[in-house]
A and B are shown apart, each in its own frame.
Chain A
Amino acid sequence: QQQVKQSPQSLIVQKGGISIINCAYENTAFDYFPWYQQFPGKGPALLIAIRPDVSEKKEGRFTISFNKSAKQFSLHIMDSQPGDSATYFCAASKGTGGGNKLTFGTGTQLKVEL
């Protein structure tokens, strides 16, 4: 059972454009929603994360929009650059206890073209 659904699977954006990746979750107990960025040959790196008590979080060109009622969250990359070309994963977890685990989406391959 996939608890976090991510779309699209791949995305091509022109330099300077806005990249948008969407995720939907099922478990209403989730209370932490991170996005990870992964370059080829590297491990995923935490990019930005949000808790459900806010609807938006912005860090530089990266913004998470969160819709609790729809159980959806999305990553927006403003002014996309070729260096943003990577695979992006959304994830969700509940609590901070020792056993809390991340449930990942299936990933989005982003390519930013010149």
Chain B
Amino acid sequence: DVKVTQSSRYLVKRTGEKVFLECVQDMDHENMFWYRQDPGLGLRLIYFSYDVKMKEKGDIPEGYSVSREKKERFSLILESASTNQTSMYLCASKASGRYEQYFGPGTRLTVT
């Protein structure tokens, strides 16, 4: 089974702090994704990566950056957290040549 893990289930940060969310997958997938989930808005893509050190902007990249130094690990960075970044953050991975995306358990981030 594909396993996608995220470093924290719950996180509380203050406005202006730098925040790191980490995601690790164990299936050697080439592609990894970061989404945020908000009530009534569904899941929206922030960034994705199709290879080590490669990244592409998703639909809502503003205020975020990412890092992929190793194939199994994809980090989401909030350079200066703001209250409107309070959300559930979900990481997913996918093998090249396949359609299916597999999600981690999510990190609920609260910025106060």
Residues of A within 8 A of B (CB): 6, 9, 32, 34, 36, 41-46, 49, 89, 91, 93, 96-102, 104-107
Contact = CB atoms under 8 A, between A and B. Distances in A.
Interface stretch (B45-53, B60-68, B69-77): B45-53
Interface of B: 4, 9, 30-31, 33, 40-45, 48, 50-51, 56, 58, 90, 96-106
B106 to A, nearest CB: 5
Contacts of A9: 40
Given A98-B50, A99-B56, A107 B42 contact: yes
Interface majority SS on A: helix, strand, loop or mixed?
Answer: loop
B96 A96 contact: yes
Contacts of B51: 98
Contact of A101 (B9, B30, B33): B33
Contacts of A100: 99
Given A99-B50, A104-B42, A107-B42, A49 B100 contact: yes
A11 to B, nearest CB: 15
A67 B3 CA distance: 33
Query: Which of A34, A43, A44, A107 has the largest number of chain B CB atoms within 10 A?
Result: A43
B8 to A, nearest CB: 13
A84 B90 CA distance: 22
B33 A89 contact: no
Given A42-B106, A89-B43, 18 more contacts: A6-B42, A32-B99, A34-B100, A36-B103, A42-B105, A46-B102, A96-B96, A96-B98, A97-B50, A98-B31, A98-B51, A101-B33, A101-B45, A101-B48, A102-B45, A104-B44, A106-B42, A107-B40
A102 B101 contact: yes
Nearest to B95: A96
A49 B99 CA distance: 10
Contacts of B105: 41-43
Contacts of B40: 9, 106-107
A45 B1 CA distance: 12
